[in-house]
Amino acid sequence: MVVSMPSIHTALEHLPSPYETALSQYDRAVQRLDLDDNVKEYMRWPRREFTVNFPVRRDDGRIEMFTGYRVHHSTILGPSKGGIRFSTNVTLDEVRALAMWMTWKCALVNLPFGGAKGGVIVDPKSLSVREKENLTRRYASELIPLISPYADIPAPDMGTGPQEMAWIMDTYSMTVGYSVPAIVTGKPINIGGSQGRTEATGRGVIIVMLEALKRMGRSNPNNTALVIQGFGNVGSHAAAYAYELGFKVVGVSDVDGGIYDANGLNIPKVRDYVAANRTLNGYPGVDHITNSELLTLPCDVLIPAAMEGQLTEDNAPHIHASLIVEGANGPTDTEADDILNDRGILVIPDILANAGGVTVSYFEWVQGLQEFFWDTDEVFRQLERVLIKAYDATASMTEKQGTDMRTAAQMLAIKRVGDALLTRGFYP
Amino acid sitting at position 330: G
- Concerning whether 117 is annotated as a catalytic residue, the answer is yes
The residue from 117, 187, 248, 415 that is catalytic is: 117
Q: Which positions are annotated as active-site residues?
A: 117
